[in-house]
Amino acid sequence: MLTFKGGVHPAYNKLTRKSRIEVAKLPKKVILPLQQHTGAACEPLVKAGDFVRVGQKIAESKAFVSAPIHASISGKVMGIAKAPHPVLGEYNSVVIESDGKIEWHDSVKKRENADKLTAKEIIDIVKEAGIVGLGGAAFPTHVKLSPPPEKKIDTLILNGAECEPYLTCDNRLMMEKPDEIIKGLKLIAKALNASNIFIGIEDNKQDAAAYLDAKLKKENENIKVITLRTKYPEGAEKMLIHAVTKRKVPSRGLPMDVGCVVSNVQTAKAVYDAVYEGKPLIERVVTITGDVNEPKNMLVKIGTQFKELIGQCGGYKGEPKKIINGGPMMGIAQVSGDVPVIKGTSGILVLADIERNEEERCIRCGRCVDVCPMLLMPTAIAQYSDKENYEMADSYFALDCFECGCCAYACPSKIPLVEKIKKAKIKIMENKK
């Protein structure tokens, strides 16, 4: 089994591993922020009082690094105003009130010739469908499929690791929609002209790995299923590339610098939906778990509020101390359940029992260095951050940190290392600008 240096083994708590994907109820309204992706925010194409249909484009940007937004329900646009956002606190959003029906827009049509499309046609469809990376980073997929001519891509890795504790949405999708995932993967490979294709899955998902492997062998596909050692953060792009290919992405570099592209299994399914079914990205599978009465994996309309989904899972089990967008390692705590599911929302985690620890002085044990998958010195970066010496923090490669949380998890002094490093990164980038 392949892996990388560093990492940790938190309690994985995959409570919903055997829970089949359930279609969430049609929300009464959706909140669709104009910023749901890495890159330029979108501008609205609708106004208050307009009637919109499912799949209709309601916002877009002329910038290359961006992704349009589509109506996930049919109904009346209530307005465009600041609303809760699970990552940015609040942001301008299109709010749509449901008409109680599912009226599809005329642009949503199945394609009969999907297998005959050229690479450019696939990329154009992906761009128009507003597809972004659904593993959490939400980087526009059409950009990833359009590397510069000098960056030759020979390897495509489909990320089925799902190393974040509690989350099981990718695992269930691999079990329930393998054919669609494989077809979407082949479309991505065609767009990139990649010859080496891998699916990386951790060994605590042997059922999904065996299922996909059997299907690929039956179809005689030249796609290899790679078993990865269960370890966090095995599913991080750079860790996954190193585990599968032994290539090392350079400092501040991108996967394309070593001839690789990594895509999430849900992203592959979204590409299938866009190319074969003509459906833009209007829904995704989300794990609602933790201290709720009925933890579930649910197919959710983008824009559905957290509180509505928690209610469909039987409500809170006990008094919630934290509601997290994502998982416990890299997720973001929310101030209320009013925030909407956005394209990058992989999970909703409710925690009722939280251990609170006071920060103590660093004892120079070096555990944060041992577990850092990027081979950094988190304690040094954090100390320079505390002293506001951001030039020295930069010299210790602070910008290479992708905030996985391994250092803070392993720290016996309970120092909020990620928080300090994140502050340094913000200041370093401001100074560079």
Residues 135, 253, single domain; the answer is yes
- Residue 351 within a domain: no
Share of the chain above pLDDT 70, in %: 100
- Residue 190 within a domain: yes
Q: What 3-state DSSP class applies to 35?
A: coil
325: nearest Cα among 28, 9, 29, 36: 36
- Residue 49 within a domain: no
Cα 156 from Cα 338, distance rounded (Å): 38
Residues with Cβ < 8 Å from 212, sequence gap 6 or more?
160, 174, 178, 181, 182, 199, 201, 225
* Residue 103 and residue 28 in contact, taking contact as beta carbons nearer than 8 Å: no
pLDDT tens-digit readout, 67-116: 999 999 999 999 999 999 999 999 999 999 999 999 999 999 999 889 89
Cα 249 from Cα 235, distance rounded (Å): 15
Of the candidates 250, 277, 304, which is a domain's last residue?
Answer: 277
Of the candidates 252, 277, 302, which is a domain's last residue?
Answer: 277
Cα 65 from Cα 82, distance rounded (Å): 23
Asked if pLDDT for residue 356 goes beyond 90, the answer is no
* Residue 63 and residue 41 in contact, taking contact as beta carbons nearer than 8 Å: no
Q: Residue 187 is part of a domain; what is its CATH number?
A: 3.40.50.11540
- Residue 174 within a domain: yes
Q: What is the pTM of this model?
A: 0.95
* Residue 351 and residue 328 in contact, taking contact as beta carbons nearer than 8 Å: yes
Residues 118, 224, single domain; the answer is yes
Asked if pLDDT for residue 163 goes beyond 90, the answer is yes
Cα 214 from Cα 158, distance rounded (Å): 17
pLDDT tens-digit readout, 195-231: 999 999 999 999 999 999 999 988 777 899 999 999 9
Distances (CA, A) of 167 to 145, 171, 302: 27, 9, 18
Residues 249, 392, single domain; the answer is no
Asked if pLDDT for residue 424 goes beyond 70, the answer is yes
- Residue 106 within a domain: no
Residues 372, 249, single domain; the answer is no
Q: For 314-323, what is the mean pLDDT?
A: 94
The pLDDT-based confidence of 270 (bands split at 50, 70, 90) is very high
Asked if pLDDT for residue 349 goes beyond 90, the answer is yes
Residues 257, 371, single domain; the answer is no
Length of the chain: 433
Q: For 133-154, what is the mean pLDDT?
A: 93
Q: For 347-361, what is the mean pLDDT?
A: 90
318: nearest Cα among 279, 288, 284, 352: 352
Question: How many structural domains compose the chain?
Answer: 2
* Count of CB atoms situated within 10 Å of the CB of 234: 25
Asked if pLDDT for residue 265 goes beyond 70, the answer is yes
- Residue 211 within a domain: yes
The pLDDT value recorded for residue 219 is 79
* Residue 340 and residue 304 in contact, taking contact as beta carbons nearer than 8 Å: yes
CB-hemisphere CA count at 13 Å for 201?
Answer: 22
pLDDT tens-digit readout, 31-41: 999 999 999 99
The pLDDT-based confidence of 126 (bands split at 50, 70, 90) is very high
- Residue 44 within a domain: no
Q: For 257-285, what is the mean pLDDT?
A: 97
Residues 378, 268, single domain; the answer is no
- Residue 51 within a domain: no
* Residue 267 and residue 173 in contact, taking contact as beta carbons nearer than 8 Å: no
**DSSP secondary structure of 47-113:** -TT-EE-BT-EEEE-SSSS---EE-SS-EEEEEEEEEEETTTEEEEEEEEEE-SS--B-TT----S-
Of the candidates 257, 277, 297, which is a domain's last residue?
Answer: 277
Asked if pLDDT for residue 1 goes beyond 70, the answer is no
Pairing assessment for the beta strands 322-325 and 332-333 based on DSSP bridges: antiparallel
Asked if pLDDT for residue 268 goes beyond 80, the answer is yes
The pLDDT value recorded for residue 221 is 77
The pLDDT-based confidence of 354 (bands split at 50, 70, 90) is confident
Cα 385 from Cα 163, distance rounded (Å): 29
Domain that holds residue 165: 114-277
Choose the weakest-confidence range: 52-56, 121-125, 186-190, 356-360: 356-360
